[in-house]
Amino acid sequence: MIKLGEFQTLTMVRRTDFGIYLSDDPIEDPEGILLPNKEVPENIETGNQVDVFVYKDSEDRLICTTHTPKISMGEIKKLRVVQLTKIGAFLDWGLLKDLFLPFKEQIGRIKEGESYLVGLYIDKSDRLCATMKLSKLLSAESPFNEGDRVKATVFSMNRDYGLFVAVENKYHGLLPQKEVTKHYELGDEIHAKISKINSDGKLVLSLKEDGFVQMEADEHVVYDALIKNDGFLPLNDKSDKEVINKTLHLSKRAFKRSVGRLMKSRTIVQTDKGIELKK
């Protein structure tokens, strides 16, 4: 059976003026599907096999190609939006006919020229389409352990839960809302560690480093901000946690701890107006 959206090995059954026809079963399907002339291998003969990718042309007819698309069935990849229309968006996936992303399969407001994480599915009309709704495509059976560092891509956001991410473009992941200390967009990549593996196999991520490493990182955030602001920040122990978070993307606890360490090393002084580098 010829499978849409996948690579497969097909057999040449006949030749025409505009290409050759390939079939997965020359006896059951002697007609086959077209491989255009410009992609036909040299010296190929009836009965020879060819590895091809199967999709549909602009008239929704099955066709195959020897080119490798940027995504195939079962994969999740970042693709660039090349056109926005009234019926949906079209993505560059490396083939002549752009890949269709229907409105109902979009998440958030997408922009032309930007790239988003998508998967493939076959719609009710037997067409190959893209979807940004990846939860149903991601696996909960990962090879990772707690503490492992991974790369993840944001594919959905929820103010109550946090950022839903595709870990290594394959596995379910969540960056909890309490960990979201700055603004993220769909398609943004983050590097994090696995803080927990839920009973259902889904991964919970954390941007925080372990212990002493995290404290040093926070301290550098405060110090670098002071350098960029001519040695002064209008923040101190009494500052509102929201102001601290907006300015430094740190919790108030992390800020106070960093200020304490910098004061102990005599790097800064703290006043009622804020903190400043010691002269």
Three-state DSSP state, 206: strand
Residue 210's pLDDT is: 53
Q: So what CATH class is 211-277?
A: mainly alpha
pLDDT at site 179: 85
Chain centre to alpha carbon of residue 107: 13
Helices marked H in 13-129: none
Q: What is the mean pLDDT of residues 183-201?
A: 90
Report pLDDT for 6.
94
Q: Is 19's pLDDT higher than 90?
A: yes
Return the DSSP state at 42: T
* pLDDT value of position 55: 93
3-state secondary structure of 121: strand
Contact criterion met (CB below 8 Å) for 140 and 200: yes
Band of residue 90 on the pLDDT scale cut at 50, 70, 90: very high
In the CATH scheme, what is the homologous superfamily, with its name and number, of domain 7-65? Answer: Nucleic acid-binding proteins (2.40.50.140)
Q: pTM of this prediction?
A: 0.70
Q: How do the domains of the chain map onto residue ranges?
A: 7-65, 76-131, 149-206, 211-277
Choose among 111, 70, 75: nearest CA to 92: 70
pLDDT band at 96 (very low <50, low <70, confident <90, very high): confident
For 207-262, how does the pLDDT look when each residue is reduced to its tens digit (9 = 90+)?
Answer: 876 555 567 778 888 899 999 999 999 998 889 989 888 888 888 888 898 888 88
Contacts from 57-61 at CB under 8 Å and sequence distance 24+? 57/97, 58/97, 60/125, 60/127, 61/34
CATH architecture observed for domain 76-131 = Beta Barrel (2.40)
Q: What is the CATH architecture of 149-206?
A: Beta Barrel (2.40)
Start-end of H helices in the chain: 211-228, 241-248, 252-264
Same CATH topology for 7-65 and 211-277: the answer is: no
